[in-house]
Structures are given as C-alpha cells and as structure tokens.
Structure 1
Amino acid sequence: MTSFISLDRLRFLFSRFAERLWVRPLVICLLSVVVVFAAKFIDGTELANLAPLVEKDSVETLLSIMASSMLVIATLSVSSMVAAYAAASNSATPRSFSLVVADDVSQNALSTFVGAFIFSVVAITAVKNTFYDKAGLFVLFVLTVFVFAVVILTFVRWVDSIARLGRVGSTIDKVESATEKALIRRRDKPTLGGVSILGSPIKGQAVHTAKIGYVQHIDMAVIQDWANDADVSVVLSALPGTFVSPDQALAYVTISSDEWSELDCACLIDAFHVGKDRTFEDDPRFGLVALSEIAARALSPAVNDPGTAIKVIGTLVRLLSILNSPSKIQSKNQVEFDRVAVPEVLVSDMFEDAFTAIARDGAGSIEVCVRLQKALNSLESLNNDDIRKTARYHKDLALKRACSALEIEEDLVAVKQAASKGGIFD
C-alpha cells in the first residue's frame, strides 16, 4: 500500500509548526546568513564597476549599532510576549494559549529582531576580515539600510500589537477567528468528505489505539487509500476533539472475523493524530468551549465582568449562524471518500458547549440573562430546523435558571419579556 501525506495533513502539520516560537526566527536567521554571503557575488561581475564607493567604517558603524540594539530589543519582545501569554491564560482561558502564541505580528517581530541581530554580527565579521570588495561593500550597505527600515516598521507595528496581545478582547477575537475557520470547514464538509451515517447502529470490528489523548486530526485520504487496498469499509466513531483511550474504538471495519485476524490496521490507526490537548483547526466545538470558558471566568465573583460575557454571547451568535449560511462549495454533501462513513457534529452538542456554562453562571446577572435570551431568540429565528429547535430548548432552560436565581420581580419580568420577543438581538 502506498503511503503518502495528504494536503489536509500538511495543513494540520503547518498549523502545529506555527505554534512554535523557534520556527520563524530560525528561518529568518538562516536567511540572514545567506543574504550576507550573497552580497559577495556581485564582486567580479560587470555591475561591480557601476557601484559607488562606500566607506568601510560607515558600514561597520551601522552594523555595530544594529548588533548592540537588536539583542536588547529581542529580549524586550520576548519578555513582553511572555507577559501577554500569562495575561491571556489568567484573564481569558488557558485554552487560548496556542492562539496567542501563534500571533503573526509578535512572531514576525521576534523573527525580525533576532534575524537583524544575526545579520549584523555575521556582516561585521565579514567586513572586518575584508571579505567584500567595493561592490560587495556597497550591496551590504544597501542591505543594512533596508534591514534598518524593516526593523523600524516592524517595531512600530509590534508596539501597537503588543498593547492588545493577551487582553481579553483580543483573545476573544483570536478564538472567534480560529473557530470560524473550523466551523466553515465543517459546514462545507460535515462528514469530512466521507459518507454520512444515517443513525443506524455501528457494526464491524473495532479498531483501538494504545494512545491516550484527544483526536486532533483525521487523515481521511490515508484511510480511504488503506480501505481500498484492504477492500473494506470504515466507520469512524471518534471525531476531532474526542478523548480516546485503549478501551474506546477509533473506528469500526466491516470485515469477516477470519479476514480480520490477517488485517494490518497500523496505517488506519496512524491516520488518527492523537495528542495531549484539543486543537482549534479541526475541532469547531473546542472553540465554542473556549469562548464559553472566557465568559464563565468573567462571570465569576472574583472577576465580575458581565460585559465580557455579553461580548462572548454576541460572538457565539455570529459563529453558530455560520451553520445556517450557504456553503461556497457546490455540494457540501459531496462524497470524496466513499469507503469511510463519518458521523456529523450535532447542533445540540455545539449549543451545549456554547451556552450551558453562560446560562448557569450568569443566571444571577440580569443583563447577561436578558442578552442571552435575545441571542437565543435571534438563533431561533434562523431558517434551520435543528438550530431553531435547539435554540428554543436552551432559551427555555436559561429562563428556568434565571427564574431560580433572580429574586427581584422586576428582573424576572425583564427576562421573560426578552424571552417572548423573538428575532431581536441588540
């Protein structure tokens, strides 16, 4: 059987690399070294005669200034980023840490500062050892000025970004963006490109894994390839976000008992990427959970910030409305992997992840109760039977919680009025 890495798996692996702070700085550092030595190539060419004369001392002075300042700025950026990461974990939710770490502006800034430091150190060494002739020295001077300009622009942009990084509002926006992408992918491919399971009981030989953790990604192309070679059908029982252990089946294979004993399922098991933590890319429910946790922490007595919970409620309405928006692909039910059956994520589970904690912890806050009722009314008005029915259930449940927690009659009247007015979310 041919083993390969699908484009979907490459996307998942690229996302994991984006969360590593050392990747971009390493790439930029290597590029900086290459650029320093590439400036030498102009020496000995016809263009060398056209290059103006640049004093060696002026280049050394610029490079020395850069070398002495960039290391300090890089250290400052790291300390500021660490403080922002701690703030994101403490004020929002630890589940948002991976998104804050993957912030493009901060990673690009750190990469630029470290890369400029490496560039200046290597260039100074080359200049002092008379590595360049007249043309090479001029090219190095131009490169140094260019790096200076990039550093200044990056620093200004980074200062504007670091002031927001780790703040609750910024963290909510990052979680919303990641969840939106995951929801759109799942809306466009509710069964990950496989065959839909129509509520029939799952049958077949169970496939287990020795790992314990969360399913982070499923490589459907690899499973399809393995099923074609083995001439079997596969029914998935664990979606991304599912906690698995050796006693829980990843999938079921439709095959006779005699043939099952001779079948090698190692490739099928490897198609499930199991890790210690849930991830946002392929698990839309995790984003909803993270947002719900941010709201629940804001509603705790220690924080007492109902405004943040109200902001999260609005975010959840935007995200869940994606399920009702039209797909950009021609047919969201198009089957790419006809030998793999996949259950869909239930709308009821998404609503449970999104609103249960907010309705429970915000039951004693009149402003949160009213906004939650309006939000669920808005979702109930959508032209989707599953969303409408689930929104109505959670609206009634939230009303019961509010009636149990609120003691002022006028507060109860306000919540009941908000529950009775459908389709209004202001």
Structure 2
Amino acid sequence: MRPRKLLMLLKRVSRNLVARILLGALVAFVTALVAPLFEGLIPKDLQDRFGSDAVMPILSILASTMLTVTTFSLSVMVQAFQTAANSATPRAYRLHLNDTTTQTVLATFTGAFLFSLTAIVMFRAGFYSESAAVVIFGVTVVVIALIILAIIRWIDHLSSLGSMDDTLSKVEAQARETLARIFERPALGGVPLAAGAEMPSGTVPVRAPRGGYVQLIDMAALNDMLGDASAHIVLATSPGRHVVKGAVIGHVLGDANPEQLANAFTFGEIRTAEQDARFGVIVLNEIAVRALSPGINDPGTAIDVIHRLSRVLSDLRHPGNPPPEFPRIEVPVLHPADLIEDGFASLIRAGREHPEVIGLAVEALGQLEGSDWPEMANEAKSMRGYALRHAKEVLSLRDDRDAVARS
C-alpha cells in the first residue's frame, strides 16, 4: 500500500469511534494482565495495607458504574448526533462521528469498565497474589483520576454537543482546513489543467474500476506508476466528483498500464474532506438552505452561514504558480467560480423571499468583490447580480427591493 493512502487510512482509523474504544479496551486488558509482573517491587508493609480486600470493593463499584455511564453516554451521543443531522444536514452526522473529544471520553469509560471487570475475574481465579493487589490498587487510582478528568471534559462538551453552533463551527473549521491544504498544493502538486484543454492524440483512457465518489488521488503513487518512460497523464476528474464504473477518470499518453494507474484512485460511497476542497462549503450551504425550508423557517441560521461563508472565502488568495511536484500529471484545479456557486447559488434561490437573507448575501458578495484575487472578485460580482435579479423578481414591496439594492 502506498504511503499517502496508508496515511489517509491511519488518519481515518484514528478518528473512528470503534477504533478508539478498542484501543482503550486493549490498554485496559493488557494493564490488568501485566500487573503481576511488578509485584516483586512491592514492599511488605504495602502488601499488608492494600490487599485484595481493599481493592475488590473499588473494582466492583467501577465495573457497575462504568457500564451504566458508558451506556448512558452512548445514548446521549447518538441522540445529539441525530439532532444535528435533523436540524442541520445529514452530512453533519458523519462530521460529528469524528469528534475526538467524544471518542476519547467513551474510550476512557469503556477502558475503565473492562479493566475493573478483568481485574475482578483475575482475583476470583487466583491469578493475582497479595503483592499484585497493591499494583492493581495503584493502577485503579490512576484509572479513577482519568475517569474524573473524562467526566469533567464530558460535562463541558455536552453543553454544546449537537447544537447548531457546534455543528456550524465544525463545518467551518473543516472547510478552512481542507481549503488551506489544497491551496498550498494547487492541482495536488501536479500541473494545473487549463480549462477547455483538448486531449492530445494517441491517449489511452483510464477507467474507474468501480463507481462512487473520488475520495483520494495518490499523486506520488500515480507518478511512480508512470515509470521512467515519458508517460504522461491528464486527469479527467478530481476529488469530490462522483463517477460510475467504467467512467473515464484520466487519459494517459505513453507506455503505462491504465488499469494499474486506476489503483491510485480511492473511491467510496460518501464524500470525504481529505482532498475535496468544495465539500465544507457545500455542507455550509446545505445547512442554510435547510434552515430556510418552510418546515424549519430559521433565517437566523442562514444569516450565520452567510457570515461564515464570507469569512472563509475572503481569506483565500491566488495560489500562484509554484513549481509542480509531479510535472507529468495534469490535474483539474479548483476555481473561485466553483466555490461561489457552491456557497451562494442555491442559498440565494432558497432565501430570495427573505429580504434580510438576500440582502446579506448581496452585501457579502459585494465584500468579496474587493478580493485581491481578480477571478474571485469577478465571480462574486456575477453572483451578486444574480442575487439582485432574484430580489427584483420576487420581492413585491419596493422598500424591500430598495433595501436589498443598497446592500
């Protein structure tokens, strides 16, 4: 497996709830098993003071309470995440599943339960001596301290878990992180593909081995697969695009195996944010559009989203033309038109009957017209005109139309 793909998988595993719980359980189980190895270091007076009679009641309390606390915490987590999905967007549910605070707290509770349960079994089976009981007592004190810290952290986290503010903050942070990463390496380190570029004659199509969203393109692996020959590839897709099996995802020129090149692409059933710079902006837009639906009718959330979109997009600068890391790979690049369209087009259509929403969108786009990036400024100007036309067409009261025009 290629390093970049392996790194992506490891990162996904590190943010997986089950993986963290299993890691906590493994640490607890191993700790309970290796504790007798340290019994030779225990002084005699400590053995008399902290024997099994002192440890067993504490372990029993931990085993019973941690099971209850873990079950309760899981139900709270699921309810909070479902609330976020129902009030914001279903994509928010997957984002909350990557919440490291929740994962760490649940792993602590589960690990404490399994440690205490394993230690009780070992005591009953006669595996632990009185000297080992002192070691178990010391470990139990550490476990209790970790539980206290986890409970404090959990209580603080529950005050915002699943709320709209928490969801919006997570989505905005993800959008910023991915955009910053993409703009550091335009075209994923390859050569930017010019818009409308024609394929050279003699190219061989590279076809998708399966359908799904393009989640990751391993550029280093793709470059290695091109070999030492003068092979060259022009990608026909980018992360975030959905393709069907057999769809053309690239055109290779030269002596390279198209089927092997296709293995550098990772496909999945859902969009992910590793290389998909548009995903965070799209999710922000979805939240605003859902808030403006008749069933929810929450213009305030749409206004908050517009503020966040304007902050995210106004921080973007032209990435320049850094020397390509992979000069034999041409890649479609992200354009400001894509981000402006993703962020504002459907929001404008959904909020055109709300003067406060359409007016703020016009104002935000007007601010983006002052961007140092000419292409961003031009696209913002075009979208601002689109918003004004919607307002003129839908708003029946002249005062509302005039207010929007002045924004």
Matched, 1:281 2:274: yes
Alignment partner, residue 342 of structure 1 = 331
Q: CA deviation at 1:132?
A: 3.2
SS in structure 1 at match of 2:316 = helix
Alignment partner, residue 310 of structure 2 = 317
> 1:310 is matched by which residue type in structure 2?
I
Alignment partner, residue 265 of structure 2 = 272
- Choose from 133, 138, 155 the match for 1:137: 133
In 2, the alpha carbon distance for the partners of 1:156 and 1:408 equals: 53
- Choose from 2, 5, 8 the match for 1:5: 2
SS in structure 1 at match of 2:294 = coil
- Choose from 110, 123, 128 the match for 1:127: 123
SS in structure 2 at match of 1:267 = helix
> 1:392 is matched by which residue type in structure 2?
K
- Choose from 380, 390, 393 the match for 1:401: 390
> 2:269 is matched by which residue type in structure 1?
K
Matched, 1:373 2:362: yes
Matched, 1:363 2:371: no
Q: CA deviation at 1:130?
A: 3.6
- Stretches of structure 2 that go unaligned for 5 or more consecutive residues are none
Matched, 1:117 2:117: no
Partners of 1:19 and 1:98 within 8 A in 2: no
Alignment partner, residue 422 of structure 1 = none
Alignment partner, residue 166 of structure 1 = 162
SS in structure 2 at match of 1:246 = coil
SS in structure 2 at match of 1:166 = coil
SS in structure 2 at match of 1:100 = helix
Q: CA deviation at 1:150?
A: 1.2
Go from structure 1 to structure 2 and tell me whether the alpha carbon gap of 1:321 and 1:15 turns closer, same or farther (over 3 Å shift): farther
Q: What is the correspondence of 1:73-88 to structure 2 with a 5 Å cutoff? A: 73-88=69-84
In 2, the alpha carbon distance for the partners of 1:311 and 1:351 equals: 17
Q: What is the correspondence of 1:18-33 to structure 2 with a 5 Å cutoff? A: 18=14, 20-33=16-29
In 1, the alpha carbon distance for the partners of 2:275 and 2:368 equals: 24
Alignment partner, residue 225 of structure 2 = 226
Partners of 1:187 and 1:332 within 8 A in 2: no
Partners of 1:178 and 1:281 within 8 A in 2: no
In 2, the alpha carbon distance for the partners of 1:318 and 1:51 equals: 61
Q: What is the correspondence of 1:27-426 to structure 2 with a 5 Å cutoff? A: 27-45=23-41, 48=43, 51=46, 53-199=49-195, 200-203=197-200, 204-229=203-228, 231-255=230-254, 263-324=256-317, 333-418=322-407
Partners of 1:179 and 1:281 within 8 A in 2: no
Deviation string for 1:155-190 (max 9, x for gaps)?
222122233222221111111111111100111111
- State the Cα RMSD in Å: 1.8
Partners of 2:210 and 2:246 within 8 A in 1: no
Partners of 2:207 and 2:258 within 8 A in 1: no
Q: CA deviation at 1:26?
A: 0.4
> 1:336 is matched by which residue type in structure 2?
E
> 1:58 is matched by which residue type in structure 2?
A
In 2, the alpha carbon distance for the partners of 1:128 and 1:245 equals: 58
> 2:63 is matched by which residue type in structure 1?
A
User: Please, what TM-score do these two structures have when normalized by structure 1?
Assistant: 0.90
Q: CA deviation at 1:128?
A: 2.8
Partners of 2:39 and 2:135 within 8 A in 1: no
SS in structure 2 at match of 1:337 = coil
Q: CA deviation at 1:366?
A: 1.1
In 2, the alpha carbon distance for the partners of 1:289 and 1:295 equals: 10
> How many residue pairs are counted as aligned between the two chains?
403
Using the TM superposition, name which of 52-61 and 9-18 deviates more.
Answer: 9-18
SS in structure 2 at match of 1:184 = helix
Go from structure 1 to structure 2 and tell me whether the alpha carbon gap of 1:229 and 1:96 turns closer, same or farther (over 3 Å shift): farther
SS in structure 2 at match of 1:324 = coil
SS in structure 1 at match of 2:91 = helix
Greater than 4 Å deviation, 4+ residue runs: 47-52
> 1:306 is matched by which residue type in structure 2?
P
User: Please, what TM-score do these two structures have when normalized by structure 2?
Assistant: 0.94
- Stretches of structure 1 that go unaligned for 5 or more consecutive residues are 419-426
> 1:60 is matched by which residue type in structure 2?
M
In 2, the alpha carbon distance for the partners of 1:100 and 1:170 equals: 9
Deviation string for 1:182-240 (max 9, x for gaps)?
10011111110111223431332211123111100000010000012454111111100
> 1:175 is matched by which residue type in structure 2?
V
- Choose from 11, 16, 21 the match for 2:12: 16
Partners of 2:51 and 2:131 within 8 A in 1: no
